[in-house]
Amino acid sequence: MTSKMAMRILTAIVALIFLISWIMKSGSGMSDSAFTNVRNGFLITFAVFLTLSIFSFLYRDNPFYKFAESLYVGISAGYWMCYGFWSTVVGNFVPRASRSLSEFFHVPYQEQADHIFIYIPIIFGLILLTRLLPKIGWLSRWSLAFIIGATAGLNLTRYLRSDFISQVSNSFIPLFVDWKGIGDFVNHISLAADGQFIAILSNWVIFVGVMCGLVYFFFSKEHKGAFGVASRVGIWILMITFGASFGYTVMGRISLLVGRITFLFGDWLNIL
């Protein structure tokens, strides 16, 4: 049997299962309206078909996955285009540009003094479109330069605060919490989570982790000798952190899988 024939048989089986599922789900509908039951039956069956088509990727690339992928990408691209038009052009530009246009699109006209500023992004946007005309396409680089330069400049202070200053600031922690001498420390040593020993240990781990992490990300010196040891400790700390983060995120992904399984076995097969 050729693979083409096998594919046809498989498609026929899938179509048959689809039809049976649609009929059964329509028959078991809860609504009084037959049309609603038929529609809901189709929607659930189609959602199941798309879910299983995407899951079929785990086996290998196949026409069902290609169909689901193309549908997903096409709908998404169309949706974002509409969203961009209605949120940016109609939402931001039209209410500030023209009263008659605002009335046409049923959005309230905003009569403000700063209307002049909206023409700056409009000009840059139009310049960006000059890419479509090869002779003056170079003009679009002005818009691109503005986008990258402006956003990089704006992000500089934001990231400087969130990713650098705040991190450094929070690393100034006491290395000897509630220290009243070595004798007192030894007498009261315990592994209680809110105890002095654990507090001191936690702060030392943070301190050493920050120091060695900074050493690892120091690019101007070769990582050899004591510097290399500190760098290796830094990468170990990073890897331990990544391990914890990996487990945490995988748990989140499993919950997404549980959601899909619940849909298949609950909403579709009514087993759960």
Partner 1 sequence: MKYIILLFLTCSSLCLSQALLAQTASSDPPAEAALVPPEPPAPPSNVRLSDLANDDGHGIQVKWDLSPDDGNGAKNVISYDIYRAEAPDAPDSLWKKVGTAVLGVKFYADKGDRESDSRDYLPKRTDLYYRVYAVGAGVRSQAAPAGPVQASDDWFNSLKVPELIFCIVFLILTVRFINMAKGGIDLYVRPLAGIEAIDEAIGRATEMGKPILYVLGIGTAGDIATIASFTVLGRVARKVAEYQTSMIVPCCDPVVMTIAQEIVKTGYADAGRPDTYKEDSVYYVTSQQFPYVAAVNGTILREKPATNIYLGYFAAESLLLAETGVLAGSIQIAGTDQVSQLPFFVVACDYTLLGEELYAASAYLGREPLLLGTLKAQDYLKATVLVCMVALLALRVITGADVIHKPFDMPWW
Interacting residues toward partner 1 by CB under 8 A: 54, 57, 60-61, 65-66, 68-69, 72-73, 75-77, 79-80, 108, 110, 112, 128, 131, 140-141, 144, 147-148, 150-152, 154-157, 159-161, 164-166, 168-172, 174-176, 179, 207, 210-211, 214-215, 217-223, 238-239, 241-243, 245-246, 249, 253
Minimum CB separation of residue 28 from partner 1 in Å reads 31
Coil, strand, or helix at residue 224?
coil
CA end-to-end span of the chain? 39
Nearer to partner 1, 82 or 269 (CB): 82
Q: At what angle do helices 225-262 and 196-216 cross, to 10 degrees?
A: 110
97, 89 Cβ separation under 8 angstroms: no
Tokens read off for 229:
């040891």
**For 31, phi and psi rounded to 5 degrees?**
-80, 155
Total residues belonging to the chain = 272
* CA atoms of 111 and 113, how far apart (whole Å): 7
Nearer to partner 1, 117 or 179 (CB): 179
Minimum CB separation of residue 94 from partner 1 in Å reads 15
Minimum CB separation of residue 97 from partner 1 in Å reads 16
Nearer to partner 1, 108 or 259 (CB): 108
Q: At what angle do helices 34-55 and 63-84 cross, to 10 degrees?
A: 110
Nearer to partner 1, 38 or 90 (CB): 90
Nearer to partner 1, 16 or 254 (CB): 254
